[in-house]
Amino acid sequence: MKRASLVVACLVLLGGLVVLAPAANAGPGSSQTAIVALGDSFISGEGGRWSGNAINPFYNRNGTDRAAYNCQWWTYSCDYDAHRVYGASYDNGCHRSDVATIKSAGVAVNQRINLACSGAKTNNIWRASQGGQVYKGEAPQADQLASVAATYNVKLVVLTITANDLGFADHVINCTVAWFAGSGPCWPAEQASMNAAMPAAQNGLRKAIDEIRAVMTGAGYSAAQWKFVIAGYSSPIPRGADIRYQPEDNSDRWNSGGCPFYDADANWAKSTATPFIVDGMRSVATEKGVQFLDVRDALNLHEVCHRSASLVGSGGPNSTWAEWVRWVNTGCCQGDAQESLHPNAYGERAIGKCVELMYAKTSGNWTCRNTPGGSYSQMSLVAI
């Protein structure tokens, strides 16, 4: 019998009603500890299949494809199975990778539980009883959290959600389409759309915070028994001046680098759009009294096409110089298109280290940065 279904043997009879007391070893009383991730693709682990980017479409893609197996050098071929990275979540597209933020955080607990799902919006967090929506065949994430909180002693909940309420992925796609069409930078219209959507997105985040707290309270947790962190996003694209391909190198930006953007749109993504989303999230977190982890700078120097990072060659990948973001991919030859512009295995491990460091902070808001020339393990927090 599962621990969550155990009840105390003692039954208290009151006025003809049998009241079942919760099990002493469930929820906050359980000896089995856990940390939990909720949210969208940024925290679910989308992109975790890849260790850097390589233009080689064969074999194990110069060692970057973590889904490659049964590789035979004499035929220069491999079998590929994304389930090796995403598990069963590959089938419904939630793409929860084995190196996702919560899986990579070095926190001493028994379980690291990833409930986040690629494409999720704030209404996929809320409980179904409060208007939450089923997504990709799964119950709202707060309802899933309720089951986890009743079974394990949850020490930390990390939430990353808002970008899909703003349609950020669609805006980036629009900018890619504009580049291919040669119609000029797209950012003014895309930013105007996000400006209009931000108030509703913030309200959705407010409700998500309330829902998570209600779940934890309902499971018997006091505020002192668990830690709640809202984590932001990182820009997948560097500023235009930091792209290693010149603006006129259209073929290289697409065929080699996988970064088909105008410099002006890259500047917007890095310096305007990402701060706009992150600052909007932080203001809600501050209003609600939730700690905030700012990771906008966590992938600096390792964004797709950054001049300080490189594609992976025949020598194989190395986290100190490889890109930590999956390039724009059509899905025709290497993996899935939806993995595009998400932290890859290196980026996810870096942000996991940020969460690990954040867990040790009892209060305050913090920004996480990497060490130039260092690996994903060399992250540090600075108070903000």
CATH for 337: 3.40.50.1110
Per the structure, how many domains does the chain have? 2
Contact 232, 282 (CB under 8 A): yes
Say if 371 falls within a structural domain: yes
Q: Are 200 and 299 within one domain?
A: yes
Token duo for residue 303? 């964004």
Determine the Cα–Cα distance for residues 115 and 159; give it in Å rounded to an integer.
10
Q: Are 226 and 109 within one domain?
A: yes
Question: Alpha carbon of 181 to those of 109, 152, 175, 321, 330: distances in Å?
Answer: 50, 52, 10, 32, 16
Say if 262 falls within a structural domain: yes
Neighbours of 247 (CB within 10 A): 13
Question: Alpha carbon of 149 to those of 124, 190, 324: distances in Å?
Answer: 18, 39, 33
Contact 293, 354 (CB under 8 A): yes
Neighbours of 111 (CB within 10 A): 15
Determine the Cα–Cα distance for residues 368 and 358; give it in Å rounded to an integer.
9
Amino acid of residue 217: T
User: Considering only CA atoms, which of 363, 353, 228, 360 is closest in space to residue 295?
Assistant: 353
Determine the Cα–Cα distance for residues 107 and 319; give it in Å rounded to an integer.
22
Determine the Cα–Cα distance for residues 191 and 11; give it in Å rounded to an integer.
59
Q: Are 157 and 129 within one domain?
A: yes
Q: Are 230 and 253 within one domain?
A: yes
Q: Are 27 and 114 within one domain?
A: no
Say if 75 falls within a structural domain: no
Residues in the chain: 384
Neighbours of 65 (CB within 10 A): 23
Say if 169 falls within a structural domain: yes
Q: Which helix (H) or strand (E) holds 113?
A: strand 111-114
Q: What pTM was estimated for this model as a whole?
A: 0.92
Range of the domain at 143: 32-52+98-383
Q: Are 11 and 127 within one domain?
A: no
User: Across-strand partners of 231?
Assistant: 293
Burial 194-232 (b: 16+ CB within 10 A, else e): beeebeebbebbebbbebbbbbbeebebeeeebbbbbbb
Say if 188 falls within a structural domain: yes
Q: pLDDT (tens digit, 0 to 9) for every residue of the chain, 384 residues total?
A: 333 333 333 223 233 333 333 445 689 999 999 999 999 999 999 999 999 999 999 999 999 999 999 999 999 999 999 999 999 999 999 999 999 999 999 999 999 999 999 999 999 999 999 999 999 999 999 999 999 999 999 999 999 999 999 999 889 889 999 999 999 999 999 999 999 999 999 999 999 999 999 999 999 999 999 999 999 999 999 999 999 999 877 789 999 999 999 999 999 999 999 999 999 999 999 999 999 999 999 999 999 999 999 999 999 999 999 999 999 998 778 999 999 999 999 999 999 999 999 999 999 999 999 999 999 999 999 999
